[in-house]
Amino acid sequence: MMPKGMTVKTVRGKLPPLRALAQIFLRTRFLLAIFMTGLVIVFWQSFSGSAANLQKFYCFGPAKSPLEISANEHNSWHAHQRTPVLFNHHEPLVVDTQTIQNDDLNSIKSTPEAWKNKERVLILTPLRDASYYLAKYFDLVSQLTYPHELIDLAFLISDTKDDTKAALVQELQRIQKGVKPFRSVKIVEKDFGLNESQDVEVRHSFAFQGPRRKAMGRARNYLLYSALKPDHSWVYWRDVDIVDSPERILEDFMSHDKDVIVPNIWFHRYQDGRDIEGRFDYNSWQESAKGLALAAKLPKDTILAEGYKEYDTGRKHMATMGDWRQDKDEEMELDGIGGVSILVKADVHRSGINFPAYAFENQAETEGFAKMAKRAGYKVIGLLNYVVWHIDTDEKPGNA
């Protein structure tokens, strides 16, 4: 309804013209005011809606600080939850280069039934002017009953004037091309400056024992460290001039489960048609109070050569005891050993027990080795009735 006295025409006359209205609405201030008003409305509705939505959720657990809730409330609060568990299965690391190797020595054992456990054996033999003995040596070694595929052979040739190397290679070819070849063979060459004759009178003379035993200790160590591999369980030292020994010598020795073990060493010599069964190796002995007193008086760098009249030690020599007809498993503890035939658990050598090329407690080479092994707590055992036969060297009186 219009006020009294007003007509449509009158009202239209009072309204602002359209052009004026358009100018008002198109002004920047007006548009900015409209935009800000709309923005305020949008934000208001957003916040009010969020508050309303939050009220729809139920908060489990007591309405108090985690530090204030009791153990029962804590258990009740966590009873409905499941702790996520993530399994991170790593793929194995593949080593694809041959320059990186891994040797697990924890798996290398030396057991009494080594042949059943497929334990590997390293046979070591030092050689010097030994061509004469090699044929017999390989005849005996090839007869060993221990599985040949578990045996490695290694030889050190030193200070040789004869044809040892050629004879050795010839015999090795014969054996390795036969029906029972060994797992591997290694030849090492190293000279130590020994120029003395190999004649018995010189080699076993008292004056030559110190230099000779030191050089032999070096030769054994060079051979050992050149040939010992991580998979070897046993090391068997065998001289080249053995003429007879049991075929089961390795299994027999292993069955005793000793750190270091040696047989008795005799030789055959026939007089008037009778074998005198000579006693050869006086380097296997038990220490005596007299021997200890003598060593205490000697300079520390003096090598005490056993079995010579120049040194009266009073020691008990295994060579003078025993009988091959008696119990072959009878043991006796030793403080010194000879080098003709020695079986050693490989870990004894790996632990640093070697053949001193110097005076160790006034002993060198194999006797020093035994002293060192005893000092380290290893068992050194001799089998006084188990005889290995050495070549008869026709020793002169006073030489052992």
140-154: per-residue pLDDT in tens? 999 999 999 999 999
The predicted structure's pLDDT at residue 44: 73
- How far, in Å, CA of 320 to CA of 308, rounded? 15
User: What are the tokens at 189?
Assistant: 């060459």
Which pLDDT belongs to residue 344?
A: 98
User: Minimal CA–CA distance to 320: which of 304, 305, 306?
Assistant: 306
Nearest to 334 by CA among 281, 277, 399: 281
Q: List the single range of 74-78, 241-245, 249-253, 332-336 with lowest mean pLDDT.
A: 74-78
Instruction: Provide the pLDDT for residue 400.
Output: 40
Residue 243 has pLDDT above 50, yes or no: yes
Partner residues linked to 344 by β-bridges: 235, 260
Least confident residue range of 54-58, 270-274, 380-384: 54-58
> For 220-232, how does the pLDDT look when each residue is reduced to its tens digit (9 = 90+)?
999 999 999 999 9
Q: Is the pLDDT confidence value at 200 over 90?
A: no
Reported as a pLDDT band with limits 50, 70 and 90, residue 398 is very low
- Domain 108-390 classified CATH 3.90.550.10? yes
More confident residue, 363 or 399: 363
* pLDDT, greater one: 244 or 79: 244
Least confidently predicted of 48-52, 134-138, 163-167, 216-220: 48-52
Residue 348 has pLDDT above 60, yes or no: yes
208 phi and psi angles, rounded to 5 deg: -90, -10
pLDDT at 108: 95
Find the helix packing angle between 18-25 and 28-54, rounded to 10°. 50
Q: Residue range 53-77: average pLDDT? A: 67
Check whether 184 has a pLDDT greater than 90. yes
Question: Tell me, what's the pLDDT at 223?
Answer: 98
Q: What is the pLDDT of residue 399?
A: 37
Q: Which residue has the higher pLDDT, 208 or 382?
A: 382
pLDDT at residue 69 greater than cutoff 50: yes
**Average pLDDT, stretch 75-85?**
71
What value does the mean pLDDT take over residues 157-166? 94
Confidence of residue 61 (pLDDT cuts 50, 70, 90): low
Residue 171, number of CB atoms within 10 A of its CB: 18
Q: What is the pLDDT of residue 341?
A: 98
pLDDT of residue 2: 54
Residue 181: exposure state from Cβ atoms within 10 A (0-12, 13-18, ≥19): middle
pLDDT recorded at residue 204: 54
Q: For position 339, what pLDDT does the model report?
A: 96
Residue 26 has pLDDT above 50, yes or no: yes
Supply 39's token pair.
């923005």
Determine the pLDDT at residue 96. 87
102-106, 138-142, 197-201, 303-307: segment of lowest average pLDDT: 197-201
pLDDT confidence tier of residue 397, bands split at 50, 70 and 90: very low
Question: Whole-model pTM?
Answer: 0.75
> Rounded to an integer, what distance in angstroms lies between the CA atom of residue 154 and that of residue 350?
17
Task: Annotate 14-44 with b (16+ C-beta within 10 A) or e (fewer).
Answer: eeeeeeeeeeeeeeeeeeeeeeeeeeeeeee
The residue with greater pLDDT, 335 or 21, is 335
